[in-house]
Structure 1
Amino acid sequence: MQLPYLSGRRSYEDAAELMAAFGDNAGYEAAARADRSRDLGNHIHFCHWRQIERLIVLLTHDAPLGTVH
C-alpha cells in the first residue's frame, strides 16, 4: 500500500472528522467529496479528498503497516 501524502494537520483532522461522523462509511464520503470536486473542476480539492480516502483506510487498520523498527 502506498502511504498517503499529508500536507498538514488539516488532512488528519478531515479524516478524523469524517470517521466520527460517518463511521464505517467515512471512506465512501471522502470519495463522494472527491467526485463532487472533480465534477466542479476543482482538482486541488479532488486530490485532497482522494488522499483523505487513502488515509482513512490506513487509520482503520489495527496492525502497523510498512516497516517497523
Structure 2
Amino acid sequence: MNTSPLTIADTAVYVTATSLIADHGEYACVEAAARADASQRIGNVVEFSHWRQVERAVQILQLEDIIGDLH
C-alpha cells in the first residue's frame, strides 16, 4: 500500500498537467509517460523527472474521489 501523500508542489507541473488534460483528455497520463520515457532515452534527467511529476499530477487531477486533505 502506498502511503505517500498525494501532492502537486510545483505550479509549473500543475500548469503542464492541466494543459495536457485539456489537449489529450483521458490520455494525458499516457502522453506524460511517453514524454518522460523519451527524455530518459536521451539521458535528460531533469526533463525525465519533470514529466514523471506531471504524470503523477495528471493522475491526481483525474481522480474522481477526494483522497486525503485538501489545502
**Runs of at least 5 residues in structure 1 that lack an aligned partner in the other structure:** none
Instruction: Please point out which of 18, 21, 25 is paired with 1:19.
Output: 21
Relative to the length of structure 2, the TM-score reads: 0.83
How many positions carry a matched residue from both structures?
67
Counterpart for residue 12 of structure 2: 10
- For the aligned residues, what is the CA RMSD? 1.6
Q: Percent identity?
A: 39
- Displacement of 1:65 after TM fit? 1.0
**Runs of at least 5 residues in structure 2 that lack an aligned partner in the other structure:** none
Counterpart for residue 48 of structure 1: 50
Q: Which runs of 4+ in 1 moved over 3 A?
A: none
AA in 2 matched with 1:25: Y
| Separation (CA, whole Å) in 1 of partners of 2:65 and 2:33 | 24
